[in-house]
Amino acid sequence: MSLPVFAAVLLGALLHASWNAIVKAGTDKLLSTVLVSGGSALIALPFALVLPAPAPASWPFLAASTLAQLLYFVLVATAYRAADMSLVYPLMRGGAPALVALAGALALGERIGPAGWLGVALVSLGVLAIAGAGRAHATGRGVAIALGNACVIATYTLIDGAGVRRSGAPVSYALWLFLANAAPFLAWALLRRGPELRAYLRAHARLGLVGGAGNLGSYGLALWAMTGAPVAVVAALRETSILFGLAIAALFLGERIGPVRLAAAALILAGAITLRLG
């Protein structure tokens, strides 16, 4: 992985942890997620109108990813209602690289060496450690939702890894993806919670735009990186966002980060680095 790609993925990791903190800090987690999704689409729209469209071969992947990411956003909001960010964020993000590495070897033909499999094991141990520590402070529901969302993250990562390579236009693929994600989510929110959404938008429009920019930048950088590096490697390196997430949860959300979660996060980070080197 070249230095520019490495730096881009790290920046994306920081942006990802930041927009998740915005959702967690919101008074209504689901409406905060809607605002972030809508903010991403609003920023993406003018660029999508002037740039060449992604190749038709990538459109089925865009559709499949949209469905998976709608489920992802709903589970993000649900998880943050059920448990602390310092618990569910590492579980959601830390569980995905191992699944991507395993499925990528089968679905995309990406080879994983011994160091890569060691990374998978380290990430898995870290996830199990956080899950075990979390059960002492939260119901199993938050842990179960977070682990389920890790499976969803792995699914759309693999879909987009294949789709962006067929698109011929990684930037356009990312822009179209954010537009496709936002449309049904916003339509649902307007139909089911229209008055609440409008009031929430008036109060939190700026956070929606900031979170939307973070969401767009985070995954857009990852998609660009996937065109020049193995999907499993990019997915693993993105999980440095776990450390950013823990730091934000402690410094800005007032959550207590115990030694077990710190040690488990270090395992996940070590696994992510090992996956990259493998």
pLDDT for 58 equals 96
Most confident range, picked from 55-64, 100-109, 113-122: 55-64
pLDDT for 123 equals 76
pLDDT for 200 equals 94
- Structural contact between residues 209 and 42, judged by C-beta atoms closer than 8 angstroms: yes
How would residue 111 be classed by pLDDT, with cut points 50, 70 and 90? low
| Host domain of residue 7 | 3-277
Does residue 27 sit in helix, strand or coil?
coil
Task: Establish how many alpha carbons lie within 13 A of residue 245's alpha carbon, considering only the half-sphere containing its beta carbon.
Answer: 31
DSSP letter for 56, please: G
Is residue 132's pLDDT more than 80? Answer: no
Cβ neighbours of 10 (radius 10 Å): 16
Q: Please state the domain count of the chain.
A: 1
What is the chain's mean pLDDT, rounded? 84
Closest CA to 13 of 231, 219, 253, 226: 219
pLDDT for 85 equals 77
Is residue 135's pLDDT more than 60? Answer: no
Alpha carbon distance 163, 58 (integer Å): 5
- CB-count exposure of residue 147 (10 Å: 0-12, 13-18, 19+): middle
pLDDT for 237 equals 77
pLDDT for 105 equals 65
Closest CA to 131 of 89, 97, 69: 89
Q: Backbone phi, then psi, for 150, in 5-degree steps?
A: -60, -40
Q: Could you tell me the CA-to-CA distances from 91 to 96, 200, 273 in Å, in that order? A: 8, 29, 17
pLDDT for 226 equals 84
State both tokens at 97: 């690289």
pLDDT for 199 equals 95
Query: If you average pLDDT over residues 108-116, what whole number do you get?
Result: 69
State both tokens at 167: 């698109």
How would residue 169 be classed by pLDDT, with cut points 50, 70 and 90? very high
What angle, rounded to 10 degrees, do the helices at 140-167 and 85-107 form? 40
- 3-state SS, 98-115, equals HHHHHHHHHHCCCCCCHH
- Structural contact between residues 118 and 274, judged by C-beta atoms closer than 8 angstroms: yes
Listed range (37-41, 105-109, 146-150) with the worst mean pLDDT: 105-109
Listed range (114-123, 129-138, 224-233) with the worst mean pLDDT: 129-138
Q: Backbone phi, then psi, for 112, in 5-degree steps?
A: -120, 125
Most confident range, picked from 75-79, 150-154, 210-214, 274-278: 210-214
**What b/e sequence results for 215-253 when a residue is b if at least 16 CB atoms lie within 10 Å of its CB, and e otherwise?**
bbbbbbbbbbbbeebbbbbbbbbbbbbbbbbbbbbbeee
How would residue 219 be classed by pLDDT, with cut points 50, 70 and 90? confident
Is residue 106's pLDDT more than 70? Answer: no
The predicted-structure confidence for 55-100, as pLDDT tens digits, reads as follows 999 999 999 999 998 898 889 888 888 887 777 877 787 777 777 7
Alpha carbon distance 276, 10 (integer Å): 12
How would residue 204 be classed by pLDDT, with cut points 50, 70 and 90? very high
Cβ neighbours of 201 (radius 10 Å): 15
- Structural contact between residues 101 and 233, judged by C-beta atoms closer than 8 angstroms: no
Listed range (16-25, 34-43, 201-210) with the worst mean pLDDT: 16-25
Q: Could you tell me the CA-to-CA distances from 3 to 9, 127, 221 in Å, in that order? A: 10, 28, 14
Query: If you average pLDDT over residues 245-265, what whole number do you get?
Result: 81
